[in-house]
Amino acid sequence: MNRIFDKAPRAELLRDPLTNRGTAFVEPDRERLGLQGLLPPRVESIDEQAERVLLNLRSKATPIERYTYLSALREENETLFFHVASANLQEILPLIYTPTVGQACQEWSRLYLRPRGLYITPEHRGSIANILRNWPQRDVAIIVVTDGGRILGLGDLGVNGMGIPIGKLALYTACAGVPPSQCLPITLDVGTDTAGIRDDPFYLGRRERRLTGQPYDDFIDEFLTATQEVFPNVVVQFEDFNNANAFRLLARYRDRLCCFNDDIQGTGAMGLAALYASARITRRSIEDERILFLGAGEACLGIGSAVMGALQGAGLRTEEAHERCLFIDSKGTVVKSRPELPLHKAVVAQDRSASLDLVSTIQDFRPTILFGACGHGGMFTQPAIEAMVKSCPQPVVFALSNPTSKAECTAEQAYAWSSGRVIFASGSPFEPVEIDGRTHAPGQANNSYVFPGVGLGLVVSGARRVTDDMFFAAAGALAGQVSEGDLALGRIFPAQSRMREVARAVACAVAKKAFEQGLARKPMPRNLSAAVEETMFQAEYGNSVAAA
CA pair distance 455, 359, nearest whole angstrom: 39
CA pair distance 244, 543, nearest whole angstrom: 50
* Residue 18 CA from chain centroid, whole number: 24
Question: What local confidence, expressed as pLDDT, does residue 543 receive?
Answer: 65
44, 193: one domain: no
72, 173: one domain: no
Sign of the dihedral defined by the CA atoms of residues 227, 242, 308, 272, in that order: positive
Q: Is residue 394 part of a domain?
A: no
How would you classify the pairing of strands 332-333 and 423-426? unpaired
Question: What local confidence, expressed as pLDDT, does residue 5 receive?
Answer: 47
65, 121: one domain: no
| Final residue of a structural domain among 34, 68, 93 | 93
Q: Mean of the per-residue pLDDT values for the chain?
A: 94
Q: From the CA atom positions of the chain, what is the Rg in Å?
A: 24
Question: What local confidence, expressed as pLDDT, does residue 10 receive?
Answer: 67
| Final residue of a structural domain among 43, 75, 93 | 93
Residue 473 vs residue 18, higher pLDDT: 473
Q: Is the pLDDT of residue 498 over 90?
A: yes
Exposed, middle or buried: residue 4 (CB in 10 Å: 0-12, 13-18, 19+)? exposed
Question: What local confidence, expressed as pLDDT, does residue 7 receive?
Answer: 46
DSSP per-residue letters across 438-501: EEE--EE--GGGTHHHHHHHHHHHTBSS--HHHHHHHHHHHHHT--HHHHHTT--S--GGGHHH
Question: What local confidence, expressed as pLDDT, does residue 414 receive?
Answer: 97
Q: Is residue 76 part of a domain?
A: yes
207, 158: one domain: yes
88, 20: one domain: yes
pLDDT digit string, tens, across residues 91-132: 999 999 989 999 999 999 999 988 999 999 999 999 999 999
Confidence of residue 545 (pLDDT cuts 50, 70, 90): low
Helices (H), strands (E): how many in the chain?
A: 24, 14
331 is catalytic: no
168 is catalytic: yes
Give 225's contacts (C-beta < 8 A, 6+ positions apart).
none
Answer whether 374's CB lies under 8 Å from 295's CB. yes
165, 53: one domain: no
133, 145: one domain: yes
CA pair distance 64, 145, nearest whole angstrom: 23
How would you classify the pairing of strands 142-146 and 433-435? unpaired
200, 76: one domain: no
Question: What local confidence, expressed as pLDDT, does residue 188 receive?
Answer: 98
Task: Exactly one of 7, 67, 97, 172 is catalytic; name it.
Answer: 97
Q: How many domains does the chain have?
A: 3
| Final residue of a structural domain among 257, 279, 302 | 257
Question: What local confidence, expressed as pLDDT, does residue 75 receive?
Answer: 95
Residue 476 vs residue 355, higher pLDDT: 476
Q: Is residue 296 part of a domain?
A: no
Q: Is residue 362 part of a domain?
A: no
106, 241: one domain: yes
Q: Is residue 113 part of a domain?
A: yes
How much is the average pLDDT of 210-236? 98
51, 144: one domain: no
Question: What local confidence, expressed as pLDDT, does residue 548 receive?
Answer: 35
Domain of 85, CATH number, reads 1.20.1370.30
Q: Is residue 211 part of a domain?
A: yes
Give 525's contacts (C-beta < 8 A, 6+ positions apart).
531
How much is the average pLDDT of 62-90? 97
Q: Is the pLDDT of residue 547 over 50?
A: no
Question: What local confidence, expressed as pLDDT, does residue 9 receive?
Answer: 57
How would you classify the pairing of strands 369-372 and 396-399? parallel
- Mean pLDDT check: name the lowest of 220-234, 335-349, 455-469: 335-349
Domain of 458, CATH number, reads 3.40.50.10380
Task: Exactly one of 168, 345, 406, 513 is catalytic; name it.
Answer: 168
Q: Is the pLDDT of residue 403 over 90?
A: no
Show the domain range for 37. 5-93
Give kind and range of the element (H or E) at residue 25: none
Give 444's contacts (C-beta < 8 A, 6+ positions apart).
425, 426, 427, 428, 429, 493, 496
Q: Is residue 494 part of a domain?
A: yes
100, 85: one domain: no
Q: Is residue 374 part of a domain?
A: no
51, 87: one domain: yes
Residue 341's nearest CA partner among 354, 357, 359 is: 354
CA pair distance 254, 252, nearest whole angstrom: 6
